[in-house]
């Protein structure tokens, strides 16, 4: 392990609570600045301590409101909290637009909480990787709880699976037919279901429906997802929500699942880095190597199919490695 | 190119219009059955002829309704139409649930149209690959137009980018703040904007907003996205929607962009196949190879960071290739 003295300056600053260094490094991650990679790497030994809670769910269920009351609850209990909100991005501003101002105003008055929005721009897998790095920074900065809020869409849900130790899926009563099917997709990742807006009619029915889904799905690796009713408006159910998260965290420790899941997440990350590098190499060669350009010509003219071309690209890669 | 006589039986049947062979092969693609790979590959020389139109947009904008009136319009004009609706899946039924029955009933009476829902289960990129194969089958089966309908979420939108020649983004007036930002994300892939439910107040304002976005974004490779107002309920605007699609298709031919985009899509597909294979290899080795298991142990105990582990896995791969 590195002593603090041997860390890069930015890493040392982040580890000792410097919020501006933290903000700058997160911006670097968002922008894909290679200068931040050594900072994140240097802080890696200081990670793995935070409780990382993912909040996801369809648009309009009030995830941000749940998050806000949850942060208030945790601050009252004396816990420090880092928040990453992963928002869809604007291609023009390049930044996030939702609710940042209000959050930042509050954050300015309380050093025990840190809010940050991340733009979810870019390529497949890019947002998952960036979110993972930001969570690591918050973990290394010493926040006891890190909350990650995302919209419930395919790509971004993968980010939740790959970073959170406990995943909370937020829903509302009367989801409607289309969202019912989304709920099923989100089911696979939920450790806790939060039925928000439970002051609306139908909350008990929603709980019953979910309980049925849970019983059909069976306990996953020994954990049966909890169901909690909240109303962010009325501020009810929030202590119960946090209790459910803590129950899952205790289960992770007692069952040995924490170490196993951490290992699995890290394996996926390492393999992902290798895959991305191989993919970038392959794309560059396909654009530049005359032999491979002719291969692509033949695929474009439907003389050769893409699987056959992939076989040759794969074989050429192995051949080049042998010749090195 | 294969003559029809040398095709596998299922491929020959699909190419000559056998709907049951088509349905069985699509089910095979959904289920990841390796037996369908030779069928799809054999049909590859017969692809690249259909106009492939992607319809995407947030939940609740009426994509399915737009799709239905568009199909009716195309059938009246004598065009044959294949439809793939990519739906979120239920983890229990493993299948799609939305509107299939009604569609199949209509399809049974008209052999010039074929409807099929696909479950969007499974891994990152999996749905994009499966959708691509199904579109190829419909193309090879001779459908002049292939429509692909998806929910507007990150992962699935990639499917649209990777298969459609023209991408239609469906929206409604008064999207609300949250969906406004989604719209911006969808902006990057739109060739045509369809403002549906244009009988609602605010349709002209929505058109004006979009026109402003379009003018800010500038023409992309020489094409400036068209904006069309429809009402699937009142059945207005549908001929105009199809005209906008055809204008974009003509642009693709006139500008040479069609060949260029086809080539780019194929390059991404080939590289994707190589990446996935390398990823699967790497994951298998990480689980089985004792040296790599120790490497993962050191990452899990925070002695080594994931980038350093990826470097070693990458180097070991090259070394193994050299020793072969």
* B67-73 contacts, C-beta under 8 A, 24 or more apart: B67/B147, B67/B149, B68/B232, B69/B230, B69/B232, B69/B235, B69/B238, B70/B147, B70/B238, B70/B241, B70/B242, B71/B113, B71/B147, B72/B238, B73/B238, B73/B239, B73/B242
Which of B219, B253, B287 is the endpoint of a domain? B253
CA angle A105, A111, A114 (to 5 degrees): 65
> Of A58, A156, A178, which is closest to B154 when you measure between CB atoms?
A156
Residue A152 lies in a domain: yes
**B33-47, B217-231, B304-318: range with lowest mean pLDDT:** B217-231
Provide the token pair at B285. Answer: 């080795």
Provide the token pair at A296. Answer: 């692509």
Structural domain count of chain A: 3
Task: Give pLDDT tens digits for A268-296.
Answer: 999 999 998 999 999 999 989 999 999 99
Report the gap between the CA of B245 and the closest CA in chain A (Å): 23
Between residues 38 and 77 of chain A, which touch chain B (CB distance below 8 Å)?
41, 44-48, 58-60
Identify all chain B residues contacting A307, using CB atoms and an 8 Å cutoff.
37, 41, 273
From CA B4, how far away is CA B73, in angstroms rounded? Answer: 32
Q: Are strands B113-119 and B145-150 parallel, antiparallel or unpaired?
A: unpaired
Q: Does the beta-carbon distance from B302 to A187 stay under 8 Å?
A: no
Q: In 3-state terms, chain A is what percent helix, strand and coil (to 5)? A: 60, 15, 30
Report the gap between the CA of B292 and the closest CA in chain A (Å): 10
Residue B258 lies in a domain: no
| Chain centre distance of CA A236 | 26
Provide the token pair at B201. Answer: 């107040």
From CA A193, how far away is CA A211, in angstroms rounded? Answer: 10
Q: What is the pLDDT of residue B82?
A: 96
Q: What is the pLDDT of residue A173?
A: 86
From CA A75, how far away is CA B99, in angstroms rounded? Answer: 47
Q: Is residue B151's pLDDT more than 80?
A: no
Task: Give pLDDT tens digits for A160-205.
Answer: 778 999 999 888 887 654 455 555 566 778 899 999 999 988 888 8
Residues A36 and A123 in one domain: no
Which of A46, A62, A78 is the endpoint of a domain? A46
Radius of gyration, CA atoms only, chain B: 22
CA proximity to B150, closest of B125, B176, B127:
B127
Residues A32 and A67 in one domain: no
Task: Give pLDDT tens digits for B156-191.
Answer: 566 677 899 999 988 888 765 445 555 556 677 889
Burial class (CB within 10 angstroms; exposed 0-12, middle 13-18, buried 19+) of A312: middle
Report the gap between the CA of A201 and the closest CA in chain B (Å): 21
Q: Is residue B102's pLDDT more than 50?
A: no
Please tell me if residue B291 touches chain A, with a CB cutoff of 8 Å. Answer: no
> Of B152, B177, B310, which is closest to A273 when you measure between CB atoms?
B310
Please tell me if residue A270 touches chain B, with a CB cutoff of 8 Å. Answer: yes
Compute the average pLDDT of residues B80-98: 58
> Of A92, A97, A322, which is closest to B321 when you measure between CB atoms?
A322
Residues B116 and B231 in one domain: yes
Residues B93 and B145 in one domain: yes
Residues A35 and A155 in one domain: no
Write out chain A's pLDDT in tens, 324 residues: 444 457 899 999 999 999 999 999 999 998 888 899 999 999 999 999 999 999 988 767 888 889 999 999 999 999 999 999 886 543 333 333 344 444 444 556 788 999 988 765 555 557 778 889 999 999 999 999 999 988 655 545 666 778 999 999 888 887 654 455 555 566 778 899 999 999 988 888 888 888 887 887 766 678 999 999 999 887 899 999 999 999 999 999 999 999 999 999 999 999 999 998 999 999 999 989 999 999 999 999 999 999 999 999 988 776 776 665
From CA A242, how far away is CA A252, in angstroms rounded? Answer: 15
Determine contact, residues A285/A292, Cβ cutoff 8 Å: yes
Q: What is the pLDDT of residue A234?
A: 78
Residues B40 and B69 in one domain: no
Task: Tell me which of A244 and B200 has the higher pLDDT.
Answer: A244
The DSSP annotation for B253-265 comes to HHHSHHHHHHHHH
Among A88, A217, A289, the strongest candidate for a mutation testing the B interface, having the largest count of B CBs within 10 A, is A88
Residue A165 lies in a domain: yes
Range of the domain at A158: 47-253
Provide the token pair at A268. Answer: 């996926």
Q: What is the pLDDT of residue A1?
A: 44
Which of the residue ranges A91-105, A248-262, B225-239, B275-289 has the most confident prediction, judged by mean pLDDT?
Answer: A248-262
CB atoms within 10 A of CB A126: 15
Specify the 3-state DSSP secondary structure of B115. Answer: strand
Residue B207 lies in a domain: yes
Q: Is residue B218's pLDDT more than 70?
A: no
Burial class (CB within 10 angstroms; exposed 0-12, middle 13-18, buried 19+) of B177: exposed
**B42-46, B89-93, B318-322: range with lowest mean pLDDT:** B89-93
Residue B106 lies in a domain: yes
Compute the average pLDDT of residues B263-280: 92
Residues B195 and B298 in one domain: no
Q: What is the pLDDT of residue A91?
A: 32
Identify all chain A residues contacting B209, using CB atoms and an 8 Å cutoff.
none
Q: Are strands B145-150 and B192-195 parallel, antiparallel or unpaired?
A: unpaired
Radius of gyration, CA atoms only, chain A: 22
Residue B199 lies in a domain: yes
Q: What is the pLDDT of residue B10?
A: 95
Determine contact, residues A299/B266, Cβ cutoff 8 Å: yes
Which of B231, B253, B275 is the endpoint of a domain? B253
From CA A255, how far away is CA B153, in angstroms rounded? Answer: 35
CA angle A81, A82, A86 (to 5 degrees): 135
How many Å is the maximal CA-CA distance in chain A? 69
CATH number for the domain that contains residue B170: 3.40.50.300
Residues B221 and B290 in one domain: no
Residue A258 lies in a domain: no
Residues B114 and B15 in one domain: no
Compute the average pLDDT of residues B287-306: 94
Burial class (CB within 10 angstroms; exposed 0-12, middle 13-18, buried 19+) of A223: middle
Residues A62 and A37 in one domain: no
Residues B38 and B55 in one domain: no
From CA B108, how far away is CA A97, in angstroms rounded? Answer: 48
Which of the residue ranges A26-35, B104-113, B152-161, B235-244 has the most confident prediction, judged by mean pLDDT?
Answer: B235-244
Q: What is the pLDDT of residue B198?
A: 92
Between residues 143 and 202 of chain A, which touch chain B (CB distance below 8 Å)?
151-156, 158, 177-179, 181-182, 184-185, 187-188
Specify the 3-state DSSP secondary structure of A155. Answer: helix
Residues B118 and B63 in one domain: yes
Residue B120 lies in a domain: yes
Q: What is the pLDDT of residue B175?
A: 61
Between residues 209 and 248 of chain B, which touch chain A (CB distance below 8 Å)?
213, 216-217
């Amino acid at each position: 392990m590195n002593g603090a003295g041997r860390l890069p300056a930015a890493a040392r600053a982040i580890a000792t609570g410097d919020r501006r260094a933290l903000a700058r490094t997160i911006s670097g991650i968002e922008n894909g600045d290679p200068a931040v990679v050594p900072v994140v790497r240097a802080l890696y030994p200081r990670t793995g301590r935070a409780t990382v809670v993912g909040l996801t769910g369809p648009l309009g269920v009030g995830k941000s409101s749940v998050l806000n009351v949850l942060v208030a609850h945790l601050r009252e209990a004396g816990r420090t909290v880092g928040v990453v909100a992963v928002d869809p991005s604007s291609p023009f501003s390049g930044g996030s637009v939702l609710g940042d101002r209000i959050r930042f105003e509050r954050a300015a008055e309380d050093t025990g909480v840190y809010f940050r929005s991340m733009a979810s721009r870019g390529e497949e897998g890019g947002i998952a990787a960036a979110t993972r790095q930001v969570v690591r920074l918050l973990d290394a900065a010493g926040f006891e709880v890190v909350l990650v809020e995302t919209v419930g869409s395919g790509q971004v849900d993968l980010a939740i699976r790959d970073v959170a130790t406990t995943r909370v899926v937020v829903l509302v009563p009367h989801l409607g037919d289309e969202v019912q099917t989304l709920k099923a997709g989100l089911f696979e990742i939920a450790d806790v279901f939060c039925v928000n807006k439970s002051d609306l009619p139908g909350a008990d029915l929603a709980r019953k429906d979910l309980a049925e889904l849970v019983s059909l799905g069976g306990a996953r690796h020994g954990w049966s997802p909890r169901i909690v009713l909240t109303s962010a408006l009325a501020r009810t159910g929030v202590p119960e929500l946090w209790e459910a998260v803590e129950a899952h965290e205790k289960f992770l420790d007692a069952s040995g699942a924490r170490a196993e899941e951490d290992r699995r997440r890290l394996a996926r990350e390492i393999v992902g880095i290798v895959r991305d590098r191989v993919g970038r190499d392959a794309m560059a060669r396909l654009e530049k190597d005359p032999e491979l350009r002719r291969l692509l010509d033949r695929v474009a003219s439907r003389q050769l199919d893409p699987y056959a071309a992939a076989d040759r690209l794969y074989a050429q890669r192995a051949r080049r490695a042998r010749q090195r």
